[in-house]
């Protein structure tokens, strides 16, 4: 745990790793009853990794300790419902105390220190992350990827983040992080709800003809449109993902316009433009160099 974590060798995935989540998810016990407990701890680690990106080992240790103490109390005829209530009250108390003890990270030196600890003591990566924060700001998005060179590099890519994720988990196409990722994709933006599959067939045909994935961002995608979308994704590997547009009312309209401007496309459903989805043309679709969609948000990045 912490900055003194050791490298582990696993049979599955990468040959060696110092990432606790990578190690945790590679564990699979032969005893099916013990394996149920393993899967529960893996869920805890996965949720922590999704929410915070760090602290998975601490979460696993806490989960094990809480479960152990809970089982001991239940074996002594304690009420499991009351134990759960007590745990939830303790969680609230701990969160309040942590907020009281926490302090904002403000200086570049502090950012380097925290980033270095998170990178298992790698000062070079700590410096790169600090440099990235200087350039993109505190509200910027920083992601780490496996590179194709021998050196660690920092690359600044323009784009935008949407605070809404995929509508259905069936759009996930990666095993790492429960995400949907595409390179060089079309973007279809709509102010209106999309329920009919026929209304998006023209856009799908354009994307398929150009061999590009399609990202649909609309007020909502449901009914026949969503079910057909998901079915084609699972059966024929349709390269598409549907995202619910962020915000409400005028705020949603403005955000869709911002996305259209950023990607070079149009917004369908705007009263002043009277564009119909059935009449979509290639120039009506926005384009992005890369798109990363999770259950909580979507990043549209320029190529």
Domains of the chain by residue range:
2-101, 108-156, 162-301
Which range in 27-36, 138-147, 271-280 is most confidently predicted, on average pLDDT?
27-36
Lookup: tokens for 300 = 């549209």
CA distance 148 to 219: 38
Contact 218/277 with Cβ under 8 angstroms? no
pLDDT band at 29 (very low <50, low <70, confident <90, very high): confident
Check residue 293 and give its pLDDT. Answer: 92
Mean residue pLDDT across the chain: 84
- For 66-85, the pLDDT digits (tens) are 999 999 999 998 999 999 99
Window from 66-75, 96-105, 169-178, 283-292 with minimum mean pLDDT: 169-178
Q: What is the CATH number of domain 2-101?
A: 1.10.560.10
Check residue 268 and give its pLDDT. Answer: 87
Check residue 16 and give its pLDDT. Answer: 46
Q: Which residue has the higher pLDDT, 12 or 15?
A: 12
Considering the four listed CATH numbers 3.40.50.1010, 3.50.7.10, 3.60.40.10, 3.90.226.10, the one that applies to the domain covering 162-301 is 3.50.7.10
pTM of this structure: 0.65
Contact 196/224 with Cβ under 8 angstroms? yes
Is pLDDT of 144 > 70?
Answer: yes
Check residue 15 and give its pLDDT. Answer: 46
Window from 6-20, 195-209, 266-280 with minimum mean pLDDT: 6-20
Q: Which residue has the tokens 């150009």?
A: 210
Distances from the Cα of 78 to the Cα of 86, 87, 124, angstroms = 12, 13, 51
């Amino acid at each position: 745990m912490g900055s003194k974590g050791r490298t582990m060798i696993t049979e599955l995935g990468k040959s060696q790793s110092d990432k606790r989540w990578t190690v945790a998810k590679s564990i699979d016990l032969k005893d099916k009853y013990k394996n149920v407990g393993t899967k529960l701890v893996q869920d805890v680690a996965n949720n922590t990794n999704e929410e915070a990106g760090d602290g998975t080992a601490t979460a696993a240790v806490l989960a094990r300790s809480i479960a152990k103490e809970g089982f001991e109390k239940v074996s002594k005829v304690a009420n499991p419902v009351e134990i759960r209530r007590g745990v939830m009250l303790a969680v609230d108390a701990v969160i309040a105390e942590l907020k009281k003890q926490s302090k904002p990270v403000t200086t570049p030196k502090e950012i380097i220190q925290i980033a270095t600890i998170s990178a298992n003591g790698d000062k070079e990566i700590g410096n790169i992350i600090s440099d990235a924060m200087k350039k993109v700001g505190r509200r910027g998005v920083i992601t780490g990827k496996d590179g194709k060179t021998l050196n660690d590099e920092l690359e600044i890519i323009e784009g935008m983040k949407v605070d809404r994720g995929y509508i259905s988990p069936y759009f996930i196409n990666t095993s790492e992080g429960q995400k949907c990722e595409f390179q060089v994709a079309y973007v279809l933006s709509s102010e209106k709800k999309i329920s009919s599959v026929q209304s998006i067939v023209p856009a799908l045909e354009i994307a398929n003809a150009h061999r590009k994935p399609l990202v649909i961002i609309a007020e909502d995608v449901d009914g026949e449109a969503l079910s057909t979308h998901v079915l084609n994704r699972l059966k024929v590997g349709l390269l598409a993902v549907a995202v619910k547009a962020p915000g409400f009312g005028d705020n949603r309209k403005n955000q869709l316009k911002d996305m259209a401007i950023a990607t070079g496309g149009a917004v369908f459903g705007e009263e002043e433009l009277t564009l119909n989805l059935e009449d979509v043309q290639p120039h009506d679709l926005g384009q992005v160099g890369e798109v990363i969609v999770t259950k909580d948000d979507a990043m549209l990045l320029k190529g």
